Amino acid sequence: MAIVAADIKKYLTGASSDGGTQSDPDASLGGFRSSTVITDDSDNNIFDDVSGAEASAGDTEYRCICLKNEHDTLELQNAKVYMADSDIGSGNTLSFAVEVPAAGSETNGSAQTAVANEATAPTVNSGNVSDWSTVTTFAGGVALNINAHDANLGVDEIVYVWIKRVIGPGAAAASGVNFTIRIEGDTAA
C-alpha cells in the first residue's frame, strides 16, 4: 500500500536521546526527536500566542520539529518540504529551513543543539541545513538532498524542520495563528 499522510509523523524535538521524553513546544529547539507527536489543528502545538508586548516591540522566535517516515516498507521518494495554509497576520512572516541528520544517523540522529532559547537562531545554509525558505508549493519545495543525504525519506528516517516566526513591530496581539509544514514525494504503489 502507498505511503499516506498518516505515515509521516511530526514530533517535537529537544529530547536527550531519540524518542526521549520532552513535551514542551517552547523547548522544541533541536537536539533529538521527542516521543511527543504534534497534534495538527491544536492551538499552541508549536508556538505560543503572540502577547501584546511581543506584538508591540516585535519578536522573532524559532522552533524545530522532526518529520519521520513510519511506513512499514516504503520510502517517500524525491521528497520536498514546504509551508502551506499560513495565516500569521499582516506584517508578520514565517520561514523554514530543512536539516538532515548526519550520514549514518538518518533514523536516530539529532538536529543541531546550539540553540539556547527560542530567540536564538539556528545555523542555516551550512553543512546539513538548507537556507531559510518561504516556499508554499511542492514544486518549489526544499528537497532533502542536502549535503550527502539522498532525495528520499526512507523507512524510519527522520528530517528536521526549523521554523522562524517573525512578528513585526506594532503588530496586533494574536492567538490561533496557524500554518502547516508539509512533506510530499512519490511512493511506490
The helix or strand, by DSSP H or E, that contains position 148, with its residue range, turns out to be none
176: left (phi over 0), alpha (psi -120 to 50) or beta: left
Q: State whether the Cα torsion 109-3-96-38 is positive or negative.
A: negative
E strand residue ranges, the chain: 8-15, 32-37, 59-69, 77-87, 93-99, 142-143, 158-167, 178-186
118 vs 105: CA distance, rounded Å: 26
12 touches 97 (CB < 8 A) = no
Q: What is the pLDDT of residues 103-138, one digit of tens each?
A: 889 999 999 998 999 999 999 999 999 999 999 999
- Strands 32-37 and 59-69, by their bridges, are unpaired
pTM for the complete prediction?
A: 0.94
Going across the sheet that includes 93-99, the strands are: 32-37, 8-15, 59-69, 158-167, 93-99
6 vs 27: CA distance, rounded Å: 25
44 or 33, higher pLDDT: 33
> What letter represents residue 175's amino acid?
S
Q: What is the pLDDT of residues 34-54, one digit of tens each?
A: 999 998 777 778 988 888 888
Q: What is the pLDDT of residues 133-186, one digit of tens each?
A: 999 999 999 999 999 899 999 999 999 999 999 988 888 777 767 789 999 999
Q: What is the pLDDT of residues 86-96, one digit of tens each?
A: 777 777 889 99
Place 83 in a pLDDT band, splitting at 50, 70 and 90.
very high
Is the per-residue pLDDT at 70 higher than 90? yes
124 touches 156 (CB < 8 A) = no
Contacts of 157 (CB under 8 A, 6+ apart): 68, 69, 75, 106, 107
1 vs 124: CA distance, rounded Å: 36
pLDDT at 68: 98
